Amino acid sequence: MRTLMSAAALLGMTSIAGANGLSSTVTFDDGLEGWQASGPTSIFDSGGNPGAFAQTTATDTFGLTWSTTSNQNFLGDFSKYASVTVSIDFKVDSINMLGNEVPRDLVVDFRNSSLAQGGLPWTSVWYNLGTLQGGQDWTTYSITFDPNAELKPEGWGGYGAEDPDTFEPILPEGVTFADVLTNVDELAFTTFVPGFFYGFTNFDVGVDNISIEATPIPAPAGLALLAGLGFAGRRRRHA
């Protein structure tokens, strides 16, 4: 009995030791925390979802991007995780082009500058999270994915090279979805969909709760140890 209880206790310790997941949210209560917008941005103490939020207001611009190259919770090698979820909240007061309210797609873009080639600034994988529309109250946009997938999951796009026939952006030859995610040095939420062009537009948009959640990959050593303990327990029981 004592042998089995000791194994169970070690099982608990192994689970704790392998629990190297990640959970981080920028609420703007403590400032921008390494995030920046491509247009003029102010932080308000109330009116967010809830609490503080960042308001970006820009005129005569093709689009907006909110990104970080310094908040390490959102950067680095994602291959150490089994699953990653990123999310962001938006409130849209207005997206106006030529006097008319217009929709804009919202893309999340995982950028890896070490894989850049052909004069482009980075190679990336990106996902269209949905649509931003003027008059929209706080809405959460999110995506969950496997960062170790070799092929791009359904709905994902690539950037870093160009299809010679369609001229659409694609991943460079030999670069996989997983390759990009081993060294993300910029994470961006943007209204620029790769391969599309835009006219001058005015934006008045609120942003809140930029979040990342990641679950760890079970440690092989811990699994092997547990398997050995199970075998030892059976041997003791039959002795």
What residue segments make up the domains of the chain, in order of their start? 18-219
CATH superfamily placement of domain 18-219: Galactose-binding domain-like (2.60.120.260)
Q: What share of the chain is helix, strand, coil (3-state, %, to 5)?
A: 20, 45, 35
The predicted model scores a pTM of: 0.84
Per residue in 126-158, pLDDT (tens digit) is 999 999 999 999 999 999 999 999 999 999 999
Residue 3: which residues within 8 A CB-CB, separation 6 or more? 232, 233, 236
Average pLDDT over residues 83-95: 98
Q: What percent of the chain is predicted at pLDDT more than 70? A: 84
Q: Which residues make beta-bridge pairs with 70?
A: none
Burial class of 139 by CB neighbour count within 10 A (0 to 12, 13 to 18, 19+):
middle
- Asked if the model's pLDDT at residue 189 lies above 90, the reply is yes
Q: Tell me how far apart the alpha carbons of residues 145 and 154 are, in angstroms, rounded to a whole number.
A: 10
Residue 227: which residues within 8 A CB-CB, separation 6 or more? none
